[in-house]
Amino acid sequence: SQQGEEDPQALSIQEGENATMNCSYKTSINNLQWYRQNSGRGLVHLILIRSNEREKHSGRLRVTLDTSKKSSSLLITASRAADTASYFCATDGGSSYKLIFGSGTRLLVRP
């Protein structure tokens, strides 16, 4: 079963607006990652945040991690139509070999 839950399940915004997605998980982790998936294709790695980090930035992406609440958020600023995709969080569940994925958020950016 999936460890993580993401909300919202779907998000529709206008180009230029910010998009925020949230992820919750259940077990202890070493790190949490965010991935993007376009139209049911392969996953693109976006950003990794370690359990001892609280915030991380990469370009228009900002990720926060609250290990006390077992939650993370992904903020995409100044969204573009090309950001339309599904976004997944994934944790290592404390292991070194597998990723445990959230249920994903479908983001639609309207031009």
- Footprint of another protein on 57-86 (CB under 8 A): none
Size of the site for another protein (CB under 8 A): 25
97 binds another protein (CB under 8 A): yes
Interatomic CA distance for residues 58 and 40, integer angstroms: 24
Give the range of 8-16, 62-70, 74-82, 95-103 binding another protein by CB under 8 A: 95-103
Task: Say how many C-beta atoms besides its own lie within 10 A of residue 95's C-beta.
Answer: 12
Give the range of 7-15, 27-35, 58-66, 67-75 binding another protein by CB under 8 A: 27-35
Binding residue (CB under 8 A) for another protein from 48, 61, 75, 108: 48
Interatomic CA distance for residues 24 and 43, integer angstroms: 20
Binding site for another protein (CB under 8 A): 2, 30-31, 33, 35, 40-45, 48, 50, 88, 90, 92, 96-104
